[in-house]
Each structure stands twice: as structure tokens, then as C-alpha cells.
Amino acid sequence: METRSAKRKKIEQEQENNAKSKPLIDRISDLPDDIIHQILLLLPIKCVAQMSVLSKRWKFLWTSFPDLDFTTLDPFPLISTKNHKKIDISRHPLSSSKLDFITQVLSIRDVKHKDIRVLCFRASLSFSRLNNLVRSAIRHNVRELDIEVHTEVDTEDFFNFPRCVIGSESLRVLKLKSGFRLPPSSVMRNGFQSLHTLSLSLVILYNQPSLSDLFSESSFPRLKNLHLDMCFGLTHLRIGCRALEDLNLERCYELQGLEICGGKIERMRVISCFDAYCDNNTWVRLNVPKLENLIWKFNAVTDVTVFENSNLLNEASIGFFMLREGKVNMGRFESANNFFSGLSHAHSLTLNTQTIEILSKYKFIIQPFYNLKSLELHTSLNKSNVQALACLFRSCPTLHTFNLEIINDYKIERKLWNRDLWDMTSTEEEQYWESQIPSLKSFLQHLKVVKIKGFLDCANEVTLVKFLLKHGKGLEEMRLCTGHSNRRDTLRRQKIKSQMMGFSWASSNAKVEFQ
């Protein structure tokens, strides 16, 4: 009788023999082209090119591959040409660099599958070679063109903007990073009719410092995303593209006038675009009724600000530059009030340390934020900033979450907490906060969550925590993040914690957590 063990071995042997007798099936090659292209997108283009020698099927896939990303290109040992010949690129006289390989790939693409969806490369080359590459891409109906180029080592000249892309009907995304000059607006106007994303970095505009007539409805009727970075010499900019939804301006340091009119703009980032020490009049006009997300950082307060309210504004992060002593223009701070008025419908607001200092120094009267649910402040929390915090609390009558990140400024002397601090009822800080209770009644009733990062047990910090616990009727959670400390600091914090538990809180649901 055959045992179970012998029977199992017999079955396994039969399965092994059947597997050897059947030919292996290449299931990947049987997939449709579109699916294989999606798989190849996960690989560096070097691997895609090497796979072209596997079979006629894979050679066809290589010549029809629509996404050519050469940014990770290394010298290849082997590729396949149109005639299916193997070429050693490292030895081929016309392919001594990856730039030659890019040119070769564009030239051998099959006529039936010449269209290119994406072309990306980074290279150091002459303008003539750049222009030839771009022209070849346009002939292949490229949809997305992402290029970062530098002039050859032996020249310090700038690039001219490749004009062949202006009239392209297939181009949807253009990202160009280089030190280049734009052609006159008359040449650029009425081009780019199909473009929906434009990113320009390192633009030279000293001979045409104003772009007030370029970004208009006639030039960019379908533009949805615009990114301008390091536009040297740009002083005045007007953007009026009706379809625009996402706007990003960065490091346009010489900007003096900015006008943005976009009925569909939802996201806007303006970073490092106004010089804090500019002697000329600077101005900003924003008409963005559907704005949802605003980041405005490292910009000086301008002389004139007109900011139309956006009822849809969800998040705003504001960071102004602090002006130098002796160059204070009070008109600019009146404009800052207008700017804050434009944020009055925001649901979440973040302010940096210099903005808090400006609010403290010039005593802004901030319009109430009736919709604000989350407030985040980055500040050193010194004595001079206490009034600014109280002003912000008054302006947030329905605030739910308050996040405070304390910046440890070593130039500012901070009064350390002592064990008898909470037994003293006549300290200046406590008297000030107690005097603000009538105006902070709504704030103290609605506040639910308080998170303080960088809590160092200084007097102003402890006094603020005590005030919120003592009068925050709606408080549910307070989290104090202390960071690294020595043994002495740990003991002091234990004393603070024990004292917090020693008096009655306004909210019976409040929980305090030290981290």
C-alpha cells in the first residue's frame, strides 16, 4: 500500500514534470501598451532603454514610450536604435554625453508613435542646442516640458526664451529654469493658448521691469497654475488670468507693485517679494474673492494695500518683515490693517514672530475674526508682546484651538519663574490679564484646546497658562511641550504642575498634559 508520504512526493514530481514540459508564458508582454507604459514609469529611463533589446515587442515599446524623464540619466552601456542595432553609448562618437543621447532618442522615435507626453532633462549646453532640443520636442507634440539648463562653462551669457514654445498647440505644462531673458510682451501675447501650468525660474527682466500686460486673458486663456521664482529686475507685476487657480511668487526681491485680479484663484503664495528697506512707494492690490489658502511670508509691509475680502478663505499664514529703526512709515501700518481686514473670514490663521512684534509696537486695531477656529502664533512671548496676544484674543471671539510656539530669543532677557510666583496676586502681568477678562469673555467661553510648544517655565508663560486655566470655562485640553531640560528644570516643572493641580479651574473637563 502506498503511504501518504510517497503519494505526496509522487504528486509533486508530476507537477514538476508538467511545469518543465510547458513553455514559460511572458504575461507582462501580453499587457496593453498603456499599462506597460505605466509600469515603466516607475523605472529610471536607463532601465527602460536597456529593456528595449529584449525583443521586437520591447523595442516597439521603447520607441513609443511617451514619458521621457532624463533627469536621472547615467551613461548607458547599451541601447537599441530604429534598426534594432545595439550601440555602446560610452564609445559612440555622437553620444559622448547624456545630451547627445537625448537628441538621439528624439530622432529615432517611430513616426506612428512620435507624440511625447512628458520630456524632462537637466543639462549644461549652448542656446543653439537648447533651441534645437525644444524644437524637436514641439515637433513631437510634447504636452509637458520640464527643463533646467545652464550655459556652457566657457560663457557667462544668458539664454533667450525659446520662442518655438509660444505657439505650441499641444503644450500643457511648461517648466523652465535658467538664467534667461523674456521676449517682448508683444511677442508673448496671444501665444500659449493651450497652456494650463507655467513655471519660470531665474528670469532676467532688467530691460523690461514691468509685466503688467503679459499675464492677461488674451495671452493665457486656460492658465490654471503660475509659478514665478527669482525674476531679477521685476518691479511691477499684474496678473489677470481668469482661469488661474494656483499662484506662487517667490524671491522677486525688487517687486514694488503687485496687482492680482483672479475670480478663480484658490491658492496663493507670495514669499520674499518686497524689500523691507525699499525707499520707493510699494503697493498691493488683491481681488481674489474665491481665495481659500494664502501664504504671505518674508514680505515688508507695503505703503498701499487693497485686499478684497474672501468669504471662502480657510487658511492664512502671514509673516511680515520688521522694518529698521528710523525708516518707519506709519502709512504702511495703516495698510497692514487693511491687509488684516482682508483676512477677516479666515478659519485658520498663523502669524510669525516679526508680525507679532509689529502688532505690539504699533498697536493695530484688528477687525474681529468671527469665523476663526484655529490660531497659531510664533513668538518669543516677552513682556512687550503680551498686549498683542490680548488684542488677538479679543479679535477671535469663537476660537476653538490656540497653538503657541515659543521662540527662544537669547537676545531678550526672560524673567524666570519662582516658586512663590503663583502666590503673588499683584504681579504686573497678572494684573494686566485680569483687566482683560470683560473683553475676553467670549474667547474664554469658546476656547477648547491650547498647545504650547517650547514651554520654558518663564514668568510670562506660566502667567498665561494660569490665566487660561483659571478663566477658560470651555477649556478641555492643555498640552505643554517642554523639550530638552536638565534635572533642575525638571524639578521646577514638577512644582509648577503640582501648583496647577492646587487651585480650582474654570472648566471641570480640562486636562493638562506635560510633554
Highest mean pLDDT among 129-133, 228-232, 410-414: 228-232
> Can you tell me the mean pLDDT for 59-76?
72
* Residue-wise pLDDT tens digits, 3-19: 666 667 777 776 666 65
**How far is residue 414 CA from its own chain's centroid?**
34
Which residues neighbour 168 within 8 Å (Cβ) at sequence distance 6 or greater? 138, 142, 194
Please say if the pLDDT value at position 252 is more than 60: yes
Q: Which has the higher per-residue pLDDT, 218 or 290?
A: 290
pLDDT band at 198 (very low <50, low <70, confident <90, very high): very high
Please say if the pLDDT value at position 488 is more than 90: no
| Contact present, 497 and 457 (Cβ < 8 Å) | no
Phi, psi of 400 (to 5 degrees): -100, -45
pLDDT band at 426 (very low <50, low <70, confident <90, very high): low
Q: For residue 133, which amino acid is it?
A: L
> Can you tell me the mean pLDDT for 499-510?
77
Query: Residue 92 has what pLDDT?
Result: 34
Measured at the CA of 37, the angle between CA 32 and CA 38, to 5 degrees, comes to 105
Measured at the CA of 406, the angle between CA 401 and CA 409, to 5 degrees, comes to 160
Average pLDDT, the chain: 79
In sequence order, the β-bridge partners of residue 150 are 124
Q: How far apart are CA 507 and CA 512, in angstroms?
A: 12
* From 145-149, 178-182, 236-240, the region with the lowest mean pLDDT: 178-182
Distances (CA, A) of 213 to 91, 239, 240, 280: 51, 8, 9, 22
> Can you tell me the mean pLDDT for 104-131?
78
pLDDT band at 364 (very low <50, low <70, confident <90, very high): low
Provide the grid cell at 392.
Answer: 488677538
Please say if the pLDDT value at position 207 is more than 50: yes
Instruction: Look at phi and psi of residue 335 and say left if phi exceeds 0, alpha if psi is from -120 to 50, else beta.
Output: alpha
* Biggest alpha carbon–alpha carbon distance for the chain: 107
Q: Which has the higher per-residue pLDDT, 60 or 159?
A: 159
pLDDT band at 78 (very low <50, low <70, confident <90, very high): very low
> Can you tell me the mean pLDDT for 486-511?
73
What H or E segment, with its residue span, contains residue 357? helix 353-362
Please say if the pLDDT value at position 93 is more than 50: no
Q: How far apart are CA 145 and CA 118, in angstroms?
A: 6
Query: Residue 325 has what pLDDT?
Result: 54
Cα distance between the two ends of the chain: 72
Please say if the pLDDT value at position 107 is more than 80: no
Three-class secondary structure assignment of 235-261:
CEEEECCCCCCEEEEECCCCCCEEEEE
Query: Residue 77 has what pLDDT?
Result: 40
> Can you tell me the mean pLDDT for 330-341?
77
Please say if the pLDDT value at position 124 is more than 60: yes
Instruction: Record the pTM.
Output: 0.81
Query: Residue 29 has what pLDDT?
Result: 66
In sequence order, the β-bridge partners of residue 295 are 269, 317
